[in-house]
Structure 1
Amino acid sequence: MREKISKLWKKRLNTEPEFNEQSNTEVIELKKQDISTSYDQNLATFKTLFTVPDNIDVKVREFTITSLKRKGVIIFLSTMADIQAIMDSIVEPLIDNEHPSKKIPDIVSYPIASTASNIGEITEYITAGITALFVEGDDQCYLFETTKISGRSIEKSDNEVIVKGAKEAFNERVIDNISLIRKKIKNENLLVETKPISKRSRNNVFIVYQKDLVNEELLQTIKDKLESFEIDSILDLSILEQILEERPRSIFPTLLYTERPDRAAAFIEEGHIILLMENSPGCLILPATFWALFHSPEDHYLRTPYGNFIRILRILALFVAVFTSPIYIAITNFHVGMIPPDLLMAIAGTRERVPFPSIVEVLMMEIAFELIREAGLRVPSPIGPTIGIVGALILGQAAVQANIISPIVIIVIALSGLSSFIISDLSMNFAIRITRFLFIFSAGFMGIYGVTALLIAGLYYLVSLKSFGTPYFAPMTPHSFSSKDLLIRHVPMKEKFRPGYLKPKDMVKQRKG
């Protein structure tokens, strides 16, 4: 008996609480039905669903179709539809046309997008900005693509700034974003599929890929992952990114987010898959590797020597950003013999009146630098740069004069902080900044040995990461066939192959050269 009670108690503890949906079950059942041939019944049904007239932006316009001598009604959202086009191309022809006709498409001048009969499906179309026309006696509804939503125009990228190359960036309108990609890839094999991913907000995700390149197994894996969601609302692509990741608590990102259509197009032509969403000014690139996150789109726009020079600087900046502060702490605390005597005396002289150990100094200034950095981002743009520069100068100078911080620590923090700005990807930038703090603590406890141990453990961890089955350091490890665009890139004529780890249908992207 005790064992049974124990098992029941464990099962109760391990089971999530069940909450029954409080929505109107009658409405849910109603949406599963088809519309009726009765005009009055259909009108009453949709007025009830959209709470008319309390719902002020839902417009219901009743009229008589002159040529058919039957009643008709259109339902649309005034905040999401082109009202002028509805009046000129749909309503007026239906009212004014007196020539005998039996078909709605022959009367209206606006193209009919499709027809539907399911009540729930029609409701979703209307909430997306589509106009629905109901005709007395018809058992189907006519749908017109009249969506017109205000939004930003196509502007420059704010986060991925480049000097040479295209300046266009994605905006919040998914139609504009798809057109920007199609403008760069004029190919009939470029497919755009859509899948609903949330039940209540009814947001769709758009899957963009090239049919003759993409690996079918990878594509099916991504589709299965998207279909497996049981979520009421996903409002933005950044939230979808966290749900899609295999390790959402990992410091290092495994998906690439970009707001540049030229970069998205380049990945599509290599066999990658792109995800877009309405209201999201960017796209997700699947799968992503460490090298994709580390590279910048400008690397390919510049001539090969210039692009490689920037990449070498970026690699150097990566090591400076991560290891400068930890090595300073390790040497001053544990490995004083590694410093030349003259430099050692100079450091000792500057730290003579400082009451704190070097790890406390570094942590204080690192946190202060991060505070200034975030403050500069959050305040209005005309003031932001001023706060960053003036705040750093005043804080550093005051800290040195107050004998709280030694001058060499200011140099170390400034050098590592500035180096972190060179990493262009936002997620990778955060990963580097957080990793720096981990190395600072390891150096403070065990010196160079702690830094080395954490570095080895970190490499083991990074190698274990995967992005939809793709190893994080591919094609370097495990080694696979590719154009070898990793640390440095070759001249464009030598980049003949697509990444082998994607297993694209066509490996060769350049036949001659």
Structure 2
Amino acid sequence: MRRKIFKKLVMDEPKEPKINEQPNTKDIDLKKQNISSQIEDNLQTFKRMFSVPKNTDVKVREFTIPALKRRAFIIFVSTMVDLEHIKESIMEKLLKDEQTSTKIQDIVSYPMSKTATNIGEITDFISGGVTALFVEGDSQCYLYETTKIHGRSIEKSANEVIVKGAKEAFNENVVDNIALIRKKISNENLIAESQVITKRSKNSVFLVYEKDLVNDEILQSIKIKLATLNADKILDLSILEQYLEERPRSFFPTLLYTERPDRAAAFIEEGHIVLLMANSPSCLVLPTTFWALMHSPEDHYLRTPYGNFIRLLRFLALFIAIFASPFYIAITNYHVGMIPPDLLMAIAGSRERVPFPSIVEILMMEIGFELIREAGLRVPSPIGPTIGIVGALILGQAAVQANIISPIVIIVIALSGLSSFIIIDGSMNFAIRISRFLFIFSAGIFGIYGVMALFTIGLFYLVSLRSFGIPYFAPMTPHFSSSKDLLIRHIPINEKFRPGYLKPKDMVKQRKG
């Protein structure tokens, strides 16, 4: 009896509705068709495509054009257009012009306009902030560039701060970003080429380059890579960067991410390709080498001796950030004989009451420093720096007084942490911070031999990296003819060649006479 009741309950249980996982093939097929010359058909088609009136920010206005004595309607996304512009430059001219005319172009002399016939193409334009005009009897649609998307104005660079040089930074408006580059490169050979990279969101990327410099093979490989992306949406360059990398699990970046238009323009003039996207306050530079990631735009704005001093200081900071903590562990644990007697006695005295081995001390303080660093970035800006400074002072002082950490470890960690801040590129900064932990473990297990073994393996690994076919350590290895702007920057008058590894169409950038 119980089994019958249970079976009846199971049979009577309401079944979950089947979810249709197939795409709307009817709309897909409709996008491939051309518009009709019948205005009612077009009106119903685009109301359906944009779910009007459910979609509240999509506006449709029907009217009659007196000069043509024909019905018409316009459709636009109100949140992405300049409404005053539509009213004054399009609607008033269409409704108030009473002269007999046969062409829309004679009535609306709009500076940025085009025509289209494909439904899918027109839909994409409307979604991007373009106003579409449909006229009875016409088998084409009139499109007017009325886009007005609110965003930030051009501000100073927040992450790549320099003392001397340009202060402008990219914002989220891709039109402004292209204009900032064109302002610095007044050349008819500068190309801003658009390419759609996603299926559903129709996100576009702009390839900016100089056609008389760029290597066609590199340009074609980048276009093929972008064309083969199989994604519904890529909303930002930071996400696109992860799609384009050849080794996405690598610690070290192979693409350069910058928010400075002057830096982007300098790379374009060398023969590189820059990628821009709407809603991204930055650009990607392709291809990229290790040296480009370590250089700063300020190196070229300063006089040669000053710029070289800062650059050498940056490379020194790179080694301090990676090796300070590992060398301390290796020497105090395995190679005590390398330390002078007086310094050895000082270290031994400071560690006399510390209960932990040196590797535990270093790991505790490294993790604590990383926590304070991230906390200072995430909290609101007025109190962020205060938290970082106060937190480091309080934790360090309290740990020393409690005999948990020796004072010399505080010095080593502070020197290592401050050195990492000098690295200008954010991705390279992360790579150095992660690599430091690997070297700490290798030093704790094998001493200096472990550090040197890991360093050798790391060099082999870095040499194997490529960015769109370009070796990571070029032009040092393999060697190419170039301006030799690596560790030392020569005076500008001696920088006569563009990077040879890019194989630009014009290798010489400075000629005699």
Look up the match of 2:323.
Answer: 323
SS at match of 2:76: strand
CA drift of 1:28 comes to 1.0
Q: Deviations over 1:57-93 (max 9, x none)?
A: 0000011000000001000010001111111111111
CA drift of 1:112 comes to 4.8
SS at match of 1:269: helix
Give TM-score scaled by structure 1 length. 0.96
CA drift of 1:20 comes to 8.6
SS at match of 2:369: helix
SS at match of 2:205: strand
Say if 2:330 is the partner of 1:334. Answer: no
CA distance in 1, matches of 2:309, 2:186: 33
Q: Deviations over 1:121-174 (max 9, x none)?
A: 100000000000000011010000000000000000001000000000000000
CA drift of 1:113 comes to 1.9
Q: Is the 8 A contact 1:321 1:419 kept in 2?
A: yes
Matches for 1:51-450 after TM superposition, within 5 Å: 51-450=51-450
CA drift of 1:109 comes to 3.3
The residue identity in structure 1 corresponding to 2:134 is: F
Q: Is the 8 A contact 1:180 1:261 kept in 2?
A: yes
CA distance in 1, matches of 2:441, 2:224: 41
CA distance in 2, matches of 1:275, 1:109: 33
> Number of matched residues?
495
Look up the match of 1:463.
Answer: 463
SS at match of 1:79: helix
In structure 2, do the counterparts of structure 1 residues 198 and 20 end up closer, same or farther at CA, with 3 Å as the change threshold? farther
The residue identity in structure 2 corresponding to 1:391 is: G
Gaps of 5+ in 2: 1-18
User: 4+ residue stretches of structure 1 with deviation over 4 A?
Assistant: none
CA drift of 1:229 comes to 1.0
The residue identity in structure 2 corresponding to 1:216 is: D
CA distance in 1, matches of 2:141, 2:366: 63
The residue identity in structure 2 corresponding to 1:188 is: E
SS at match of 1:201: coil
Aligned-residue sequence identity (percent) comes to 78
The residue identity in structure 2 corresponding to 1:123 is: T
CA distance in 2, matches of 1:331, 1:211: 55
Q: Is the 8 A contact 1:93 1:109 kept in 2?
A: no
Look up the match of 1:7.
Answer: none
CA drift of 1:254 comes to 0.2
CA drift of 1:21 comes to 4.9
CA distance in 1, matches of 2:70, 2:293: 61
CA distance in 2, matches of 1:21, 1:225: 28
In structure 2, do the counterparts of structure 1 residues 116 and 264 end up closer, same or farther at CA, with 3 Å as the change threshold? same
The residue identity in structure 2 corresponding to 1:315 is: F
Q: Is the 8 A contact 1:105 1:111 kept in 2?
A: no
In structure 2, do the counterparts of structure 1 residues 435 and 183 end up closer, same or farther at CA, with 3 Å as the change threshold? same
CA distance in 2, matches of 1:197, 1:49: 22
CA distance in 2, matches of 1:20, 1:92: 46
CA drift of 1:414 comes to 0.2
Q: Is the 8 A contact 1:170 1:261 kept in 2?
A: yes
The residue identity in structure 2 corresponding to 1:362 is: I
SS at match of 1:166: coil
Q: Is the 8 A contact 1:219 1:273 kept in 2?
A: yes
CA distance in 2, matches of 1:455, 1:495: 32
CA drift of 1:111 comes to 2.9
Look up the match of 2:508.
Answer: 508
Look up the match of 1:42.
Answer: 42
The residue identity in structure 2 corresponding to 1:211 is: K
SS at match of 2:165: coil
Q: Deviations over 1:443-462 (max 9, x none)?
A: 00000000000000000000
CA drift of 1:408 comes to 0.3
CA distance in 1, matches of 2:314, 2:121: 51
CA drift of 1:23 comes to 2.4
CA distance in 1, matches of 2:437, 2:24: 52
CA distance in 1, matches of 2:305, 2:414: 28
Q: Is the 8 A contact 1:105 1:112 kept in 2?
A: no
Q: Deviations over 1:2-59 (max 9, x none)?
A: xxxxxxxxxxxxxxxxx99532211111111111011001000100111111111000
CA drift of 1:110 comes to 2.1
CA drift of 1:239 comes to 0.4
Look up the match of 2:29.
Answer: 29
